[in-house]
Amino acid sequence: MSSFAGRMKEYPTISLDRFDRENLHARAYFLSHCHKDHMKGLKGPLLKRKLQFSRTVRLYCSFVTKELLLNNPKYAFWEEYIVPLELESPTQISLVDEASGEKEEVVVTLLPAGHCPGSVMFLFEGSHGNVLYTGDFRLPVGDVSRMEHLHSGSRVKDIQSIYLDSTFYDPRFYQIPSREVCLSGISELVGNWISQSPHHVVWLNCKAAYGYEYLFINLGEEFNTQIHVNTLAMFKKMPEILSYVTTDRRTQIHACRHPKDEEFFQGNRLPCGCTAADGTPLRIISIKPSTMWFGERTKKTSVIIKTGGSSYRACFSFHSSYSEIKDFLSYLQPVNIYPSVIPIGRTLTEVTQMLKLMCRKQSDEAAFVYKPLGVLKRSRVQRPTCDSESDDELFDGLDVAPVRKKLGVQKEGTLETTALPVCVEESLPLTITDAQPAAHNYVDCTESNGEEEEEEEEEEQQGDEEKVGAGQPEDISSQPPRWEDFFTTETLTDSQNSLRSQPQSCCSEMTGSQTPDLFSDEETAPDGFSLTLSGSQSNHSSQNMDSCLPDTLIIQPELDGQKQREEGDDGIIQSESQQLSDFDIPCTPESKVPRRDELSQLYRKLAAGEDIRALDYRTEH
DNA sequence: GCGATCAGCT
DNA sequence: CACAGCTGATCGC
């Protein structure tokens, strides 16, 4: 449970996920998601009073969070003070001191957090640096490298501080099976049961909280049914959820609740009191989603555990595991990390100490003081996926065929009030040029979209997931653009995990192009020759990372150049916003990144002392 | 009568 | 298997 006090050191005039005590004086409020432990004080009368006298204080959140919040009458008074923001749309917000008129500008970007419907992280960019408040999140290993707004061009942004969901930041929780693996296990159990007869029913013993909708949607889809729940009101504007839940009790899958639901179940009744029409007793099993974790060296274990004659626990987590958090942090390498949760049995000091290891090293900063051409930023490179592979091995008793469901999003809302969508870099000539970190690149050790696909196929073969596995690519390419409003993580699967298949951000929409022509070489070409620091140099990463990374300092212009080139293929983004590039020097119009073969040619010419200007990178391929 | 806090429970 | 709550008791205003 979050114990975050509500404020960040860098931007103390805003409050997040806490609305009591000193937070009453904030100039702006942010709500990351609709769980009670992040809403403390939100219905307080003091706050209500303050809002009535204020012209500028607003609550910012995602559209889905707004919808869920206002569904509860206790929070209905917020209606006129909420400013819902689109995901991944940088928005400038004025933080106004209403007494003095003093003003500070900050740009906020909502990033999907994969925790529950509407959950987001907040990235703040302003004169006190870039800070990331994660809220609660679950991101699979590698996803952070695909989050556009954590990058500037092809570089990882310089993050001053991360305010972190550290729920499972403890080596005890080293591994938590992926959403797909857990869902697959639950699906199998449910399928085996309800196929026996119409009187075989399943009760999903879910806590009263948002976050299980992912389960309902996927089970509903797979078994062509709806899940019985107590109320639909909160989802009335979310058709993609609404269509998989029902208040009609005549269904084989229930997630209904009752204050004494466990007793009901013991008496072979469902919490809704449902019985079969013809008087035949129901055959009920209960499945209780719970977080199961596995240590670093734990052997393969099932994600389903039978705890009684008709009771099961099924693995399910809304929070990132230790290794997922490590992946996230070691990619971003912030200067500071502040935990917002202290895992049970730990102290703040312990957690802070452990997190220090994940912060950017002092030496990284010191080593690159000399910067005649401006400052190097870290490359964005496709991350190794060692972890996900070991995941699969760990749980290979189950089919890992990713089960996903497209989730559309509610209609685009208009931005009202003072919120202005902007491109971050355009509005922020500040921050990022000084005291830059080293160019800590990661070495790409995947080489292996192919490998992974193979693995997936193998697994499909052993299982009964044919239906689910089939047709995935089509599903993905037709994803509605903003479906991440509900859940992030399962879209970012291997089949679409490179940025090239994910046109997003204001700038890429402008181009609408898949051609690389928009690439200016200024962002990327120097990178082809940059140093690549790996392994021990770049971070003190987890064992899983270490196992993939060489320990030596290497120079690999070719690989790096190719990487950049590949990213260029999605017609990325930076046409407007790449002022802040590897070096802060003007770009060369109409130039672009050479391909690997072009590079080889380039090197040969360079070696031969020939004039490389004769080479035309714009040759078609 | 309301809010805050805590124990207990799931 | 430690999530995100609920309920109920107690205390203070």
Strands (E), A480-536: none
What average pLDDT score do residues A241-268 get?
Answer: 92
Whether CB of A207 is under 7 Å from strand B: the answer is: yes
Question: pLDDT at residue A376 above 90?
Answer: no
Q: Which of A138-147, A322-331, A474-483, A550-559 has the lowest mean pLDDT?
A: A550-559
Question: What are A413's two structure tokens?
Answer: 């809302």
Q: State the number of CA atoms in the 13 A half-sphere of A472 facing the CB.
A: 21
Q: Which nucleotide is nearest to A40 (CA to C1')?
A: B4
pLDDT in tens, A129-139: 999 999 999 99
Question: pLDDT at residue A411 above 90?
Answer: no
**pLDDT of A117:** 98
What average pLDDT score do residues A589-608 get?
Answer: 58
What average pLDDT score do residues A584-592 get?
Answer: 38
Question: pLDDT at residue A611 above 60?
Answer: no
Question: pLDDT at residue A403 above 90?
Answer: no
- Report the distance separating Cα A128 and Cα A8, nearest Å: 11
Nucleotides of B under 7 A from a protein CB: 3-4, 10
What average pLDDT score do residues A323-346 get?
Answer: 95
**Cβ neighbours of residue A485 under 8 Å, at least 6 residues apart?**
A62, A63, A64, A87, A112, A117, A118, A407, A409, A410
Whether CB of A262 is under 7 Å from strand B: the answer is: yes
Q: CA of A44 vs C1' of B3, distance in Å?
A: 9
Q: CA of A2 vs C1' of C10, distance in Å?
A: 25
- Report the distance separating Cα A545 and Cα A386, nearest Å: 7
How far is the first Cα of chain A from the last one, in angstroms, to the nearest whole number? 53
Yes or no: say if A316 and A305 are a contact pair by the CB < 8 Å rule. no
pLDDT in tens, A532-577: 222 223 333 333 333 332 222 222 222 233 333 333 333 222 222 2
**pLDDT of A516:** 26
- Tell me the pLDDT band of A528, cut-offs 50, 70 and 90: very low
Which has more pLDDT, A293 or A363? A293
Nearest residue by alpha-carbon distance to C1' of B3 = A44
Q: CA of A279 vs C1' of B1, distance in Å?
A: 47
- Report the distance separating Cα A88 and Cα A148, nearest Å: 8
Whether CB of A41 is under 7 Å from strand B: the answer is: yes
Question: pLDDT at residue A218 above 90?
Answer: yes
DSSP A526-579: GGGGS-B--HHHH----HHHHTTS-SS-B--HHHHHHHHHHHHTTT-STTTT-S
Question: Of A465, A494, A216, A160, which Cα lies nearest the Cα of A335?
Answer: A160
- Tell me the pLDDT band of A598, cut-offs 50, 70 and 90: low
Q: CA of A17 vs C1' of B5, distance in Å?
A: 20
Whether CB of A44 is under 7 Å from strand B: the answer is: yes
In percent, the amount of chain A with pLDDT more than 90 equals: 52
**pLDDT of A603:** 59
In percent, the amount of chain A with pLDDT more than 70 equals: 58
| Average pLDDT of chain A to the nearest whole number | 71
**pLDDT of A344:** 85
**pLDDT of A487:** 42
> What residues are paired with A159 via a beta bridge?
A130
Residue A47 phi, psi (nearest 5): -65, -40
What average pLDDT score do residues A199-218 get?
Answer: 96
Nucleotides of C under 7 A from a protein CB: 1-7
**Cβ neighbours of residue A93 under 8 Å, at least 6 residues apart?**
A28, A60, A105, A106, A107, A108, A418, A419
- 3-state SS, residue A313: strand
Whether CB of A305 is under 7 Å from strand C: the answer is: yes
Which has more pLDDT, A219 or A559? A219
**Cβ neighbours of residue A87 under 8 Å, at least 6 residues apart?**
A62, A110, A111, A112, A120, A482, A484, A485
- Report the distance separating Cα A44 and Cα A496, nearest Å: 44
Q: Which nucleotide is nearest to A208 (CA to C1')?
A: C5
Question: pLDDT at residue A381 above 70?
Answer: no
DSSP A110-179: EEE-SSSTT-EEEEEEETTEEEEE--S----TTGGGG-GGGEETTEE--EEEEEE--TT-SGGG-B---H
Nearest residue by alpha-carbon distance to C1' of B4 = A41
Residue A291 vs residues A176, A316, A348, A398: alpha-carbon distances, Å: 8, 5, 22, 17
pLDDT in tens, A158-187: 999 999 999 999 999 999 999 999 999 999
Whether CB of A216 is under 7 Å from strand C: the answer is: no
pLDDT in tens, A35-53: 999 999 999 999 999 999 9
Q: Which of A80-84, A393-397, A411-415 has the lowest mean pLDDT?
A: A411-415
> What residues are paired with A200 via a beta bridge?
A283
Count of CB atoms situated within 10 Å of the CB of A399: 25
Nearest residue by alpha-carbon distance to C1' of C7 = A259
Segment of A296-300, A420-424, A533-537 carrying the highest mean pLDDT: A296-300
**pLDDT of A617:** 36
| CA-atom Rg of chain A in angstroms | 25
Whether CB of A103 is under 7 Å from strand C: the answer is: no
Whether CB of A45 is under 7 Å from strand B: the answer is: yes
Question: pLDDT at residue A329 above 70?
Answer: yes
**pLDDT of A298:** 73
- Report the distance separating Cα A68 and Cα A318, nearest Å: 18
Question: pLDDT at residue A375 above 80?
Answer: no
Q: Which nucleotide is nearest to A21 (CA to C1')?
A: B4
Whether CB of A191 is under 7 Å from strand B: the answer is: no
Q: CA of A585 vs C1' of C13, distance in Å?
A: 64
Whether CB of A20 is under 7 Å from strand B: the answer is: yes
Residue A598 vs residues A122, A415, A526: alpha-carbon distances, Å: 40, 46, 15
Q: CA of A315 vs C1' of B7, distance in Å?
A: 28
Supply the pTM of this predicted model.
0.67
**Cβ neighbours of residue A38 under 8 Å, at least 6 residues apart?**
A2, A17, A18, A31, A32, A135, A136
Question: Containing H/E element for A60?
Answer: strand A59-62
- Report the distance separating Cα A492 and Cα A139, nearest Å: 9
- Report the distance separating Cα A276 and Cα A345, nearest Å: 46
Burial category of A73 from C-beta neighbours within 10 Å (exposed 0-12, middle 13-18, buried 19 and up):
exposed
**pLDDT of A273:** 82
Residue A37 phi, psi (nearest 5): -70, -5
- Tell me the pLDDT band of A340, cut-offs 50, 70 and 90: very high
Question: Of A386, A326, A361, which Cα lies nearest the Cα of A548?
Answer: A386
Torsion on CA atoms A458, A461, A463, A468, rounded to nearest 10: 90
Q: Which of A185-189, A190-194, A197-201, A494-498 has the lowest mean pLDDT?
A: A494-498
Whether CB of A1 is under 7 Å from strand C: the answer is: yes
**pLDDT of A366:** 57
pLDDT in tens, A3-37: 999 999 999 999 999 999 999 999 999 999 999 99
Question: Containing H/E element for A331?
Answer: helix A322-332
Whether CB of A35 is under 7 Å from strand C: the answer is: yes
Strand order in the sheet with A59-62: A14-16, A28-30, A59-62, A82-85
Question: pLDDT at residue A91 above 90?
Answer: yes
CA angle, A245 as apex, A242 and A246 as ends, to 5°?
110
Question: pLDDT at residue A463 above 60?
Answer: no
Q: CA of A262 vs C1' of B10, distance in Å?
A: 9
Whether CB of A608 is under 7 Å from strand C: the answer is: no
What average pLDDT score do residues A473-496 get?
Answer: 33
Q: CA of A379 vs C1' of C11, distance in Å?
A: 57
Question: Containing H/E element for A289?
Answer: strand A283-290
Question: Of A263, A237, A242, A182, which Cα lies nearest the Cα of A215?
Answer: A182
- Report the distance separating Cα A124 and Cα A534, nearest Å: 29
